[in-house]
Amino acid sequence: MSAKGIRGNIDLRRGLGSKTTDREKIMEDGPAGDWLALRSDQLLKWIDDAVYNASEATGMREVVDRVTRPIFNFAQRFSPHPLHFGIMCCAIEMGQASAPDHDIDRLGLVYRSSPRQCDVLIVNGPVCEKLRPKLKTLYEQMPEPKWVIAMGECAISGGPYWDSYSVVAGADTFMPVDVYIPGCPVRPEALMHGFLTLQKKIREKEPGMFLRR
Amino acid sequence: MNFKELQKQLKAMEGVSKLSLVRDNVIKIDLERSTSKDFFIKMKEECYFEHCSLITAIDNQPNFELVYHLSCLSGELKVGDTKMAAMLEVHVNLERDSPSIDSVSDLWFGANWHEREAFDLMGIYFIGHPDLRRVLLPEGFAGHPLRKDYVYEIHEEEW
């Protein structure tokens, strides 16, 4: 089957995912429904829409969601991979938490060096004005679902530097924070407790297969 | 050259006042702003101060004060019988309206970033500096925060 042949076929061009059935508007849109002419992210969205619409129409969505939700939830709860990113002294405690004394690996926490492979961003220190856009970029590079832990007084409110000219008054002034861990610096046990709290939060929120809906 | 000879030479120099000893190996002097460049060239070329340790700015309201720390690490300036490194502490008084002084970053390359820092945080302009940009604070920051009359604002961003 050649690409040209598909291009001419309006029924294929419309696609399962596209909402409109107006022929002329579809023609204007260009490659909106033509899955061979889509970019990779558009193609993913197209597949997502198609699967969603099909499952919704047949009533399978409820069934699949019921079945897969506990599995996805279990997987997310017991493997929240944090980003290996240290700002200040709380980073030392983060390192201590993964040392043999408080072996944090047994909670399924494996530090990853790339934000593309991470679920949790630990903000462990004061965020200065120069770091803020970089931290925001790291947060935006992480795939959904993602969570943020504000570790220590500096990340919660700015701590002793709250009225500084260059330190941001808390990480929640520029990104959503899920768990706050007080302490200066935070002890490794407190960090573990923070991750257990995050597990509870994930269990309550129960994100499943159709998280984006 | 000896350390005592250096003190005599400094006393005779133009623009130098209030010479005193802080410690056995540290001389403290006050310097006029207008003669600063000639003075520092002479220190570098003839008096063996081959290292500029520090440049600091102080805000004594209303005026600014610059402090240069020069040191001689080669041992040419002998302090008695000891092997201590001779140091020179130069204080320069600057007007608040136009705080500017000749740059010394062509004499000591390490002074480059010290001067940038003094410009960044205290707003002192170094004439002849090759690259006078902010070094610690982000580009586009308004004001010089270590001045006593600086008023800060808390920045917030929507998310």
Mean pLDDT computed over B68-91 = 87
B110 touching A (Cβ < 8 Å): no
Q: Which fold has domain A79-205?
A: Rossmann fold (3.40.50)
Selected for mutation to probe chain B from A165, A174, A175, A178 (highest B CB count within 10 Å) is A165
% of residues, chain A, pLDDT over 90: 42
Instruction: Answer whether residue B107 shows pLDDT above 70.
Output: yes
Residue B87, phi then psi, degrees to nearest 5: -130, 155
Residues of A in contact with B156 (CB under 8 A): 169, 173-174
Mean pLDDT computed over B139-153 = 85
**Confidence (pLDDT) at A208:** 57
Q: Does a structural domain hold residue B16?
A: yes
Give dist(CA A31, CA A7) in Å, integer.
9
**Domain holding B57: CATH number?**
3.30.460.80
Q: Are A50 and A42 in contact (CB under 8 A)?
A: no
Q: Are A81 and A112 in contact (CB under 8 A)?
A: yes
Look up the domain containing B119 and give its range. 3-127
Residues of A in contact with B145 (CB under 8 A): 165-166
Beta-carbon count within 10 A of A101 CB: 10
Per-residue pLDDT of A30-59, as tens digits, reads: 444 566 666 777 777 777 777 777 877 888
B156 vs A165, A173, A175: nearest CB: A173
Strands B51-60 and B63-72: antiparallel
- A19 or B66: which leads in pLDDT: B66
B152 vs A163, A173, A176: nearest CB: A163
| Inter-chain CB pairs, A–B, below 8 Å | 28
Residue in B closest to A158 by C-alpha: B154
The answer to whether the Cβ–Cβ distance between B137 and A166 falls below 8 Å is yes
Residue in A closest to B139 by C-alpha: A130
B68 to chain A, closest Cα gap in Å: 26
Specify the number of domains making up chain B: 1
Q: Does a structural domain hold residue B134?
A: no
**Confidence (pLDDT) at A20:** 55
Residue in B closest to A169 by C-alpha: B154
Instruction: Answer whether residue A150 shows pLDDT above 90.
Output: yes
Q: Which residues contact A133 (CB under 8 A, 6 or more apart)?
A: none
B141 to chain A, closest Cα gap in Å: 9
Instruction: Please state whether the predicted TM-score (pTM) of the whole model is above 0.80.
Output: no
A200 to chain B, closest Cα gap in Å: 25
**Confidence (pLDDT) at B68:** 95
B141 touching A (Cβ < 8 Å): yes
B113 touching A (Cβ < 8 Å): no
Quote the crossing angle between the two packed helices A188-205 and A60-77, to the nearest 10°.
180
pLDDT tier at A29 (50, 70, 90 boundaries)?
A: very low
A38 touching B (Cβ < 8 Å): no
Q: Does a structural domain hold residue B71?
A: yes
Q: Does a structural domain hold residue B107?
A: yes
B87 to chain A, closest Cα gap in Å: 34
Domain limits of chain A? 3-58, 79-205
Give dist(CA B73, CA B50) in Å, integer.
8
**Confidence (pLDDT) at A6:** 41
The answer to whether the Cβ–Cβ distance between A130 and B157 falls below 8 Å is no
* Segment among B81-85, B91-95, B142-146 with least mean pLDDT: B81-85
Question: DSSP class of residue B106?
Answer: T
